[in-house]
Amino acid sequence: MNVGTGYHGTGWRYVVLCALLVGCQTTGTERIALAEEHRTKAIVVGSYREVPATPLTLDIAAATTVLLDHSKLEKTFAFDKPGGNQEIVHVFRLPVWSTPYSVQLTSYVMGGLNDPALFYPRLTFLNEAFEQTRESKQSDFVYRGVGAHGGISTDVFINDSNRGEAYIAITSETRGAIEEHLSVMQSAGSMPLAIAGKGVLIMWMIPTGGTELPKKMRAAASGQFQLKLIPYAPKRPTASP
């Protein structure tokens, strides 16, 4: 399976993140249409066990990050849902438990600030036998000023009492249960101003700010998200708040 974006270094992470989030000039409406295409073309499976699991690693000294864009995958898998709807599913294999850590899932806004779309994910934890142990609710996610256009994220800890959890599955939140968040970020940029003098042309870049109003981030069946495994080792604060 081509996960495509499983880099584990900070520098690469930002490069890939920029490419994922800024380089995409499609609108939210186009992303929703594309997501519907992914959904209908996905390979339908009957259980989590049938989905090839992407292995995750935990670095006890730093966070490990995996970025995933459904549109970049060679194959996607889906469950059949009532009404002929397919629900895209992606399964990750968790590292063997040795220390408490958190799984942070962030889903990024697609399509820009004027027509934002978002994959509203649900995070399901599974044991070795692929039985569900825990799952997230949409209310566990908060809106954050992340990436180019914001996104929603949640953190779930895997403590000693959860050491039997072996997989996590990411699916879309059930359609009827989605309450669309507001995107409240505003754009900033610059425009060139040219002033002609005696034989010279002086260029200034004048800052500009957008006036985007808060907009509902419409639900897309697939999207762009980041999974981060963060070791839990509280230490004394070194920086000011």
Q: Site residues (CB under 8 A) for another protein?
A: 47-48, 100, 102, 104, 123, 125, 129-137, 140, 142-147, 150, 153, 155-157, 159, 161, 182, 184-188, 190, 204-211, 213-214, 230, 232, 234-241
Amino acid at 204: W
Nearest CB to another protein, comparing residues 48 and 92: 48
Nearest CB to another protein, comparing residues 33 and 44: 44
Nearest-approach distance from CB 126 to another protein, in angstroms: 8
In the block, residue with structure tokens 């897309």:
220
CA distances from 70 to 20, 112, 197 (A): 11, 18, 52
Structure tokens at 25: 């000039």
Nearest CB to another protein, comparing residues 57 and 204: 204
- Compute the distance between CA of residue 169 and CA of residue 147 in angstroms, rounded to an integer: 23
Nearest-approach distance from CB 202 to another protein, in angstroms: 11
Nearest CB to another protein, comparing residues 201 and 206: 206
Nearest-approach distance from CB 8 to another protein, in angstroms: 19
- Compute the distance between CA of residue 66 and CA of residue 128 in angstroms, rounded to an integer: 22
Structure tokens at 23: 């380089």
- Compute the distance between CA of residue 241 and CA of residue 238 in angstroms, rounded to an integer: 9
Report yes or no: 95 and 58 within 8 Å, Cβ to Cβ.
yes
Nearest CB to another protein, comparing residues 34 and 51: 51
Closest CA to 117 of 4, 39, 222, 227: 222
Nearest-approach distance from CB 115 to another protein, in angstroms: 18
Nearest-approach distance from CB 192 to another protein, in angstroms: 11
